Chain A
Amino acid sequence: MPKRGAVAVGLTALALALLLNFQVPADTLTVGRPPGPSGAGGAGGISNGGASNGGASSGPDRSTGSGGTSGDQGGGATGQRTVTGPVVDTRWGPVQVAVTVSGSELVDIAALELPSGGRSSQISRFVEPILRSEALQAQSANIDGVSGATYTSTAYAQSLQSALDSAGI
């Protein structure tokens, strides 16, 4: 089962590739699935025992409006929903993504806005189709953060993560 945090971070690494290194076809997502110390096993690893306190509903805070869909109670939903992440500004321009989810499954990602102009346009053209095809694979990645990621890729991942938060997956 997908882990939302892992999804976001796995996609961080993916987005890095796509946004920063467009010359190289990013045909593999090789973010690791390191063996977890908790022994929870499997690709998903640790299952969270639900929200730990009532404060869960107070977060997450978002800097800009997430045009999210209505609050879904969790895994029982059927049918697809699209949830929009916030616009995150970078020195090269704004970044915004939307995710499509079905129940608790991430089925698609679309970049609504990416930096344009010069190299950024090249990067932006490169990013989207690959992101789509790699999205499901990324759900099994299990990393909490990437050091060395900067600017656009960070913004991309953060918009994505907020969208995933809104979607409740």
Chain B
Amino acid sequence: MPGRPDGVARQVRVEPVMGTTVSIDVRPPFVGAAAIEAAVAWFHAVDEKFSMYRPDSELSRIADGSLALEDASRDVRTIVSLSDSLRDRTEGYFDAGRHRDDGRLDPTGVAKGWAVDEAVTILRMAGARNLQVGAGGDLVMAGEPEPGRRWRIGIRHPERADRVAAVLEITSLAVATSATYERGAHIRDPWTGRPPTGLQSLTVVGPTLAMADAFATAAFAMGERGIPWVGRQPGFGALGITSDDRVVWTPLVDELRIPDPTVGTGTRGRPTAGSALTSLSGDER
């Protein structure tokens, strides 16, 4: 629509898959429709291999013993080995094998982020340079949304879903958030077996969504000390909102963060519980 007055031209595709909603948003230069279809097909292929809700998926068959890991596809072996290394790298806090109540293998957390990373690669190989691919609130950005502007990504406020607790300006990075507010206490401290305390939400930025998502899960389970822990992982940064409503972030996030996302908004606003959040910079306390 060349006559579009104010809009930013974009290619958008939305697909329900992997138990969530995947969105693809390509800004000029655009790619052919076949590239978008290839990315969508990729997500469905991942779903088929990794779904724990499909009894015939490779992962289900590994879990029930009918498929040996050595005989699984390369993608499945990749994810299982990535899960193993993440467990080591996160002091056991990212324990993919213990995510499920029944203790069965469940590396689907890594698979989702990895699937998004790979979809971005598919689209970039097709010629896209500026794009955003998201799955259930976890996002990967590349390039810029418009010439000369960085992607502005809001971090959802944990208590007030109509607010963002922070805004980050990003070029090419992945952003993942772990929190209890929507899926309930789905994250458990692998050492205590209980939901972690200390954080309401934790957002991790980094070069890949597979890792950012895994670090967000692990560091959230660590509680507040998870924030500086992420800060010590090269290339990664974190912004957490503590149980007592402080916002804490690491130096990398400090470079991305817009100081006050609420400036200039809420024309008929009044103070609310959410506005009690105070910003404390730095990753050491």
Contact = CB atoms under 8 A, between A and B. Distances in A.
A10 B177 CA distance: 19
A51 B160 contact: no
Interface in B166-202: 167, 169, 175-177, 179, 181-183, 201
Contacts of A159: 14
Contacts of B266: 28-30
A158 B12 CA distance: 9
A168 B19 CA distance: 30
Nearest to A87: B16
B162 A14 contact: yes
Contacts of A169: 4-7
Interface string B101-122: 0000000000000000000000
Size band of the interface chain B makes with A: 35 or more
A70 interface: no
B10 interface: yes
Interface residues of A, number: 79
Interface of A: 1-5, 9, 13-14, 16-21, 24, 26-38, 44, 46-48, 50-53, 55-63, 71, 73-75, 86, 88-91, 104, 137, 140-151, 153-155, 158-159, 161-162, 164-165, 168-169
Interface of B: 1-16, 19-21, 23, 26, 28-30, 32-33, 36-37, 132, 134, 136-139, 141, 145-146, 148-156, 158-164, 167, 169, 175-177, 179, 181-183, 201, 203, 258, 260-270, 272
